[in-house]
Amino acid sequence: MKNFWEKLPKPFFCLAPMADVTDTAFRRIITKYGKPDVFWTEFTSADGLVSGGRKVLKSNLFFRKIEKPIIAQLFSSNPEKMRQAAKYVAGLGFDGIDINMGCPDKSIEKQGAGAAMMKDMKKAGHIIQAVKDGIKDSGKKVSISVKTRVGYNKNQLEEWIPFLLSQKIDALTIHARTRKEMSKVPANWDYVKRAVEIRNKMKIKTKIIGNGDVKDIKDGKRKAKETGCDGIMIGRAIFGNPWLFAGKIPTTKEKLKVLIEHTKLFEKLLGKSRNFAVMKKHFKAYVNGFDGAKELRVKLMQTNSAKEVEKVILGSPTSEYPK
């Protein structure tokens, strides 16, 4: 339902959309060990979904009811294709559709999508309307939201945020950096605080979600209190720590056991559509902070299947490893 935002606690916690990270396998692991209040999928090309690419991209949109509420994130600079994709995605049972207007990936920006949207407010408005039209076409009640940054080469907060809020969206996630800053400088949460002030002055109900450098739940609650934002989105801190939203600190043994579980799940669910190398970016996150971690990672990077990963970990001489 569209009003699921109203039923969330304050602050609520969301999992950030991260390409080749927050896929269906990792989300299943996170659901089991520490579910957030709201899930996001990886970003998906709307253009691809309405072309021959749908067959490949469908794996981005696999989810189970236990993951709800879950939001599908799309990107495009083509209103007609965005409308068609929004209709298709709304029909899959997602609780919301989020528009990526902050990703700095050059291949996405070349299409005029992602962070490039901040340079063309008129087009951004057309894209938001296209998603609304697509949702209407589907006959479903699905929320609409935007994830963005505070500006392209400089702080555009005072123009960009009021514009987005005027589009009558249900939620707005603000990554507290500019496109130019990437993740090279610390996130400035004063930007999030200012966005909340703008929202309050406009007297609208759009939820403001802060994003950038949140270490854990405690840190997120502190940032929410200081800025007044409604929700907190966490990205990089989830790497190697599916227990993050549960506030649990795992042992080495638990982390390695779940790494085996995660790898098997990845192979089972995504083995036919994705290269096993995608899974390897998780190895460094799971395997660190103990004697022999580096040596074990080197061996794991040479593996090419879940079976090999399990064999390497179980065959390690260190008693900390799960037997």
Q: Please give the C-alpha separations between residue 54 and each of 44, 45, 61, 309, 320, in angstroms, as whole numbers.
A: 10, 9, 10, 31, 44
Q: Judge if the upstream peptide bond of residue 104 is cis by omega within 30 degrees of 0.
A: no
CA torsion angle 226 175 158 100 (round to 10): -140
Select which of 46, 82, 103, 233 is catalytic: 103
Q: What is the DSSP letter of 147?
A: E
14 catalytic? Reply is: no
Give me the residue label for tokens 């909340």. 196
CA torsion angle 15 16 22 26 (round to 10): -20
- Residue 132 burial (CB count, 10 A): 18
Please give the positions annotated as active site: 103
